Amino acid sequence: MSLNDEYDTNPLSDLDTVDLLFGDLIRVSRDGECFVAVDHLTHIAEVGSTEAEAVNNLRQAIREHINVVKNTLEQMRDFDRAFREDAGDH
Amino acid sequence: MSSDLPHNLPIQNVLSLLGEFDYSEVPKSDRYIHLRRFDDRTVITIPNRARVHRAVLRSALIQGGIPEKDFTERLKGAISVSGKESILAHVDILGFKSLLDEAKESELRFDELLNHYHKALRSAFSRIKSVTEVRHKYDWKRISHVRVYTDNLLFVSELRRQTGGESEFGRTIDEIAMYQLELAIEGFFTRGGVVIERAYCDEVTVFSPALMDAAGIEKRALFPRIILEDSARERLRRYLKWYNNPAFCHFNDMVVIDPDGTWFINYLYVLRWFNDDMMDMMERHGEKLPVSEGPYFPAAISELHQHRDHIKRRLAEFKDNPVVFRKYLWLACYHNWFCSTYFSEDGDAEISDVGITLTFESCFAAKSEVNHIN
């Protein structure tokens, strides 16, 4: 699995993959009563009442985000393919 | 990283504001909201909670490539705003109406005057605008705006309560002085006033009771000068009390008092300031000035001479119009006083045959009056 490989459409299977890729890029800070976890690659941020909760929430958010990005790319490719086929027909 | 975004915002407000940047929701899950533009692969992901935390909001803006400044400007339309004690300056250009009358003469004259005015105003305005924008960018919650309409400039800057607003007051005076000088060396002399008043201002709204008296402020200025109205003068007096030595008081040279008791901005002092900076820098780098230029930095002297020449031309032009002539006569007196005080070694800077000498004093001199009052 590679994030740069747009043709790999398999959804990320588990949070371990997120940890593997993003673990070093997550920074956690305290903001008043809560903890804020930010991923410096995707710039996604999440909050939690504890440091662990904030990081866990962020892992979930990153996983969802990547799935949506992959689906979006797939939709765009489908649209592009359909458009070219349609244009070829004419 | 510090941010001036609100601590949290209702999710509906955030979605609606992101919608203004063409981001709409992609149906996906209950736990997260994803937004994207129709023709763009960029996806914004935020948690689906009733309120969006500041860090999450900032992350959404970064994900979507939305400048924080643009977002916060839109935000002002979605959250309630309030007026703040601010320093307001209203400035207009002396003789602008007659300039427009002259422009009616012919197309050629119209374009000639337009280009001259446009060049001067653009340069002066862009300088003051860029300073204001930078200030606004790093503290969007603070009111800091500048507007130009025909020959009118309106400048609004919120005063911080914690510091009594001294730094905003000082910066505003400096910026107005720079604006005034830049126009003056192009031959456009300004007049107006500075007040302290409750105000609100953003990209679309200017709201302050001080605006009702804008015309009165100009009339009270009387001469081509930007005066400190009662509220601004009293505030400055308060700041002056904090200083024992004029050498440490920035206002000492920036605000002076006319013999008629009016406090006004000593805009030509910007030249002395510029001169000193440049001379210090040259000294640090061991550079020497051309002997013929004398003890001052050539560009500062050149601008001072341009100022002198514009006044001389106006005095000659209006010698048969006593009302207007009197205004330029005052300006000539101010120019001469400035030259003798700050550029005394330049023999050419003063305007000869003025016939009157006015002596202005530093606002610091009024400090004793403050102590007496108190």
What is the DSSP secondary structure assignment for residue B341, as one 8-state letter? H
Q: Do A72 and B36 touch (CB under 8 A)?
A: yes
**What is the interface size between A and B, counted as CB pairs within 8 Å?**
58
ipTM of the complex: 0.74
- B residues 50-69 lying closer than 8 A (beta carbon) to A: 53-56, 58-59, 62-63
Cβ <8 Å between B34 and A64: yes
Per-residue model confidence as pLDDT tens digits over A49-65: 999 999 999 988 998 89
Domains and CATH numbers, chain B: 8-78 (3.30.920.30), 84-266 (3.30.70.1230)
Q: Which amino acid is at B321?
A: N
Q: Which residues of B touch A51 (CB under 8 A)?
A: none
pTM metric for this prediction: 0.68
Average pLDDT over residues A5-17: 53
Cross-chain Cβ contact A46/B56 below 8 Å: yes
Instruction: Name the residue in chain B with its Cα closest to that of A67.
Output: B28
Letter string b/e over residues B258-297, b meaning 16 or more CB atoms within 10 A of that residue's CB: beeebbbbbbbbbbbbbbeebbeeeeeeeeeeeeeeeebb
Give yes or no for a contact between A26 and A42, defined as CB atoms under 8 angstroms apart. Answer: no
Phi and psi for B226 in degrees, rounded to 5? -110, 110
Please indicate whether residue A12 or residue A85 has the higher confidence score (pLDDT): A85
* Nearest-Cα residue of chain A relative to residue B63: A43
Query: Looking at CA atoms only, how far is residue A88 from chain B in angstroms?
Result: 22
Here the tokens at position B311 are: 């006044």
Test B29 with A64 for CB contact under 8 angstroms: yes
pLDDT confidence of residue B141: 53
Contact predicate B314/B272, CB 8 Å: no
Q: What is the spatial order of strands in the sheet that A45-48 belongs to?
A: A26-31, A34-39, A45-48
CB-based contact, B48 to chain A, within 8 Å: no
Q: How is residue B218 written in tokens? A: 């100009």
- B365 contacts B315 by C-beta, under 8 angstroms: no
Each of the 374 residues of chain B gets a pLDDT tens digit; together they read 445 678 888 898 899 899 989 998 887 678 899 998 877 778 999 999 989 999 999 999 999 999 888 888 788 777 777 788 888 888 888 888 888 888 888 888 898 888 888 888 888 877 776 666 666 555 555 556 777 777 888 888 888 877 788 888 898 898 889 889 999 998 999 999 999 988 887 777 788 888 777 778 777 888 999 999 999 999 999 898 888 888 888 898 999 999 999 999 999 999 999 999 888 888 888 777 664 456 888 899 999 999 999 999 999 999 999 999 999 999 999 999 999 999 998 888 999 888 888 999 988 887 765 443 43
Token representation of residue A74: 């797939």
Q: Any idea how long chain A is?
A: 90
